[in-house]
Amino acid sequence: MTKIVAVFNQKGGVGKTTTIVNLCACIADRGKRVCVIDIDPQGNTTSGYGINKSEQENTIYEVLIDEVNLDDAIMSTGYKNLFIVPSSARLAGAEIELVTISIREGKLKKALSAIEKNGFDYIFIDCPPSLGLLSINALVAADSVLIPIQCEYYALEGVSQLVQTIQLVKKSLNPKLEIQGVVLSMFDGRTNLSIQVVDEVKNYFKGKVYSTIIPRNIRLAEAPSFGKPVIYYDEKSKGSVAYYELAEEFIDLEEGGF
């Protein structure tokens, strides 16, 4: 049974792309077959795997406007057990085009229902940092939502709106939708602020925060410019070790329950 996870926070700069690029690579390295769907028009996850967005003919955009099937848009990242449906600049206009289409909130869900999903253990959807139609499509298609939150001053700003959006989608469009968990990133143990944010987030999302916390790490910041997940850029860096531990925790909780 394939688990579909939307990685979502409408606030930008929270480590969303860093989390999806590296968590998925680590889960795949653990032997799970993973497909990433990059539904963010910025396409940073696509380029984070070293894929040139401008050279791809079949992307999630063509899938959403019914030009190709999702199976035809899946490509290998070149990394172990890891595949992607790339984004493209054309996706920026998709929300406008989808407005006139019936059942527009369910386009991605329909595409996923036709995919040969049995080969994948997990499908992760990288959402835009907004509450628009593309993000709603991801939430409607997903089984759960993974929420990255940065350990900084405005960490909880907008979180209540995010949770309300998830609850609204659950109530009206996707009854099975649940919060998968919360990933804390950009942690700096030298500051009282980071420690306070961890406590606040754990209090807000009781029982849903992963034990593994992602630290600030220069290798994590450098890896995207080389088009590599951090475990393939510097596997011994603190960032690499943290994401591998997060992948192990994710899999263990999936197999044993949160």
Under the banding of pLDDT at 50, 70 and 90, the label for residue 186 is confident
Q: Residue 29: inside a domain, yes or no?
A: yes
pLDDT in tens, 97-141: 777 776 788 899 999 987 765 589 999 999 998 888 899 999 999
Cβ atoms 88, 56 nearer than 8 A: yes
What are the φ/ψ torsions at residue 36 (nearest 5 degrees)? -105, 130
Q: Residue 231: inside a domain, yes or no?
A: yes
Q: Residue 52: inside a domain, yes or no?
A: yes
pLDDT in tens, 1-54: 899 999 998 887 788 999 999 999 999 999 999 999 999 999 999 999 999 988
First to last CA, the chain: 18
Report residue 102 as tokens: 């019936």
Cα separation of 213 and 216, whole Å?
10
pLDDT (0 to 100) of residue 11: 81
Q: Residue 258: inside a domain, yes or no?
A: no
pLDDT in tens, 228-250: 999 999 999 999 999 999 999 99
Report residue 142 as tokens: 């997903």
Show the domain range for 240.
Answer: 3-252
Cβ atoms 214, 239 nearer than 8 A: yes
Residue 174: count of CB within 10 angstroms of its CB: 19
What is the count of structural domains for the chain? 1
pTM score: 0.93
Please indicate whether residue 91 or residue 189 has the higher confidence score (pLDDT): 91
Rounded to whole angstroms, what are the CA distances from 79 to 24, 160, 183, 192, 208? Answer: 10, 36, 23, 38, 30
CATH number of the domain encompassing residue 23: 3.40.50.300
What are the φ/ψ torsions at residue 63 (nearest 5 degrees)? -65, -45
Amino acid of residue 191: T
Q: Output the CA torsion sign for 85, 131, 163, 199.
A: positive
C-alpha angle 6-68-118 in degrees, rounded to nearest 5: 50
Q: Report the share of the chain in percent with pLDDT over 90.
A: 62
Q: Residue 257: inside a domain, yes or no?
A: no
What are the φ/ψ torsions at residue 94 (nearest 5 degrees)? -65, -35
pLDDT over 90 (residue 84): yes
